[in-house]
């Protein structure tokens, strides 16, 4: 058992011996582990719905795609489905180039330095 534990093998020597005996008899070894979790929500037909909704409007959010495909699931599930289909998710940010208070401050700064000699030669 020492050599099994040193190699990172987590079964006892007797367990390994039984498996070897079964193999020598010609029996098939089956994986006795149970599956964890439930069946996946996004089955093939649902993935097709998501793909169809994505093709119709590729710039939609995951939430919008879920609504268009008539699926009741979390947007993260839709994102994982898009990844399964080989599509990449992009986050589109929209923001103003200059905020109104910044524009006011820039105009004030320009008016304050209007008479400077250096600013007459400066081009924006």
Q: Distance of CA 35 to CAs 11, 40, 80, Å?
A: 20, 12, 20
Measured CA to CA, the distance from residue 49 to residue 54 in angstroms comes to 9
What is the C-alpha to C-alpha distance for residues 54 and 71, in angstroms, rounded to an integer? 13
| Helix, strand or coil, per DSSP, at residue 86 | coil
At 104, is the pLDDT very low, low, confident or very high (cuts 50, 70, 90)?
A: very high
Report if residue 90 sits inside a domain: no
Say how many domains are in the chain: 2
- Give a yes or no: residue 25 inside a domain: yes
pLDDT for the residue numbered 28 = 86
Express each pLDDT in 5-63 by its tens digit: 566 667 788 888 888 899 999 988 877 777 777 788 889 999 999 999 999 988 888 89
Task: Supply the pLDDT for residue 53.
Answer: 92
Q: Are residues 48 and 80 in the same domain?
A: yes
Q: Which domain holds residue 27?
A: 1-31
Judge contact between 84 and 121, C-beta under 8 A.
no
* pLDDT band for position 3 (cuts 50, 70, 90): low
Does residue 15 lie within any of the structural domains? Answer: yes
């Amino acid at each position: 058992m020492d050599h099994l534990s040193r190699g990172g093998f987590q079964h006892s020597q007797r367990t390994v011996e039984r498996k070897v005996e079964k193999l020598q008899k010609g029996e098939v070894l089956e994986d006795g582990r149970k599956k964890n979790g439930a069946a996946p929500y996004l089955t093939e037909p649902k993935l097709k719905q998501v793909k169809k909704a994505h093709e119709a409007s590729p710039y939609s959010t995951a939430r919008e795609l879920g609504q268009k495909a008539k699926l009741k699931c979390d947007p993260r599930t839709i994102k994982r489905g898009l990844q399964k289909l080989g599509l990449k998710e992009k986050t589109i940010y929209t923001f103003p180039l200059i905020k109104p208070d910044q524009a006011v401050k820039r105009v004030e700064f320009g008016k304050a330095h209007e008479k400077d000699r250096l600013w007459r030669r400066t081009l924006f």
